[in-house]
């Protein structure tokens, strides 16, 4: 596991009791008398309440159904996975050797659960300071999701990239298999985006569709940098 000081810097929070952050990073497969499941239980409740209050104040024109849809997207496994990626939590997870071989460090479910556990660990470490914990949650979401609205959150990266490439190049992106690896039951696909015969973002996933979405996301970032 990498130095916890690095993770604290990324989280912008220094733990007084490091046992809490270690517990938050510990998967049940790891041979310890504790794991992050109990923390996940607390973190899930804090997160849902915080995002409900945040969205209620931020979007005064949305009805209950729209607010629920928006919150569901933000606190979904996919939404939490994006936050885990932002902090590179996979580098810090404590896993068994078997879970490590099973690609546990990039599993959406494990990483999403870890985010909720970290929220709980901050809450408990700060002596149940809910205001501080909620500030951490909101600051994190606003950094990871600079555009929090129904339109941006419910669009997939491939659709967004297609619109960008049609505008910039007058053509749609092409997705190519770069490589495949692993046994048949755990196949990994490396996909790449090709535009104007140039290879842009490449990414690996357990399915071609997952890898295409990730490579499209990377390509969008690359194109935005090139436009600056």
Known catalytic membership, residue 171: no
Known catalytic membership, residue 147: no
The C-alpha R_g of the chain, in whole angstroms, comes to: 19
Residues 204 and 34: their CA atoms lie apart, in Å, by 32
Per residue in 114-150, pLDDT (tens digit) is: 999 999 999 999 999 999 999 999 999 999 887 787 6
Residues 215 and 211: their CA atoms lie apart, in Å, by 6
Task: Say what the pLDDT of residue 205 is.
Answer: 82
Residues 70 and 54: their CA atoms lie apart, in Å, by 11
Tell me the three state secondary structure of residue 138: helix
Of 40, 44, 125, 212, the active-site residue reads: 44
pLDDT band at 160 (very low <50, low <70, confident <90, very high): confident
151 pLDDT above the threshold of 70: no
For 31, 110, 190, 208, the CA distances from 182, given in Å and listed in that order, are 26, 20, 11, 14
Comparing CA positions, the residue from 225, 221, 207, 209 lying closest to residue 175 is 209
Task: Say what the pLDDT of residue 174 is.
Answer: 95
- Domains and their CATH numbers in the chain: 4-148 (1.10.1520.10), 157-227 (3.30.160.20)
206 pLDDT above the threshold of 90: no
| pTM (2 d.p.) | 0.70
Of 23, 40, 99, 116, the active-site residue reads: 116
2 pLDDT above the threshold of 70: no
């Amino acid at each position: 596991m990498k130095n916890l000081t690095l993770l604290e810097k990324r989280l912008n929070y220094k733990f007084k009791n490091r046992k809490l952050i270690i517990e938050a990073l510990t998967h049940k497969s790891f041979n310890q008398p504790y794991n992050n499941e109990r923390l996940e239980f607390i973190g899930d409740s804090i997160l849902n309440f915080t995002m409900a209050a945040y969205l209620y104040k931020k979007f005064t024109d949305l009805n209950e159904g729209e607010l629920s849809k928006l919150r569901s997207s933000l606190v979904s496994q996919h939404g939490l996975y994006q936050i885990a990626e932002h902090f590179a939590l996979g580098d810090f997870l404590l896993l068994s050797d078997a879970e490590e071989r099973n690609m546990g460090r990039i599993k959406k479910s494990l990483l999403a659960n870890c985010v909720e556990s970290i929220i709980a660990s901050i809450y408990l470490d700060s002596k149940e300071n809910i205001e501080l914990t909620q500030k951490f949650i909101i600051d994190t979401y606003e950094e990871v999701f600079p555009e929090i609205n129904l339109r941006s959150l419910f669009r997939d990266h491939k659709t967004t990239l297609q619109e960008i490439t049609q505008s910039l190049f007058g053509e749609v992106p092409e997705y190519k298999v770069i490589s495949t690896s692993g046994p048949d039951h755990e196949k990994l696909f490396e996909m790449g985006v090709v535009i104007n015969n140039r290879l842009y973002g490449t990414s690996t996933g357990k399915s071609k569709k997952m890898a295409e979405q990730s490579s499209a996301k990377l390509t969008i970032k690359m194109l935005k940098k090139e436009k600056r």
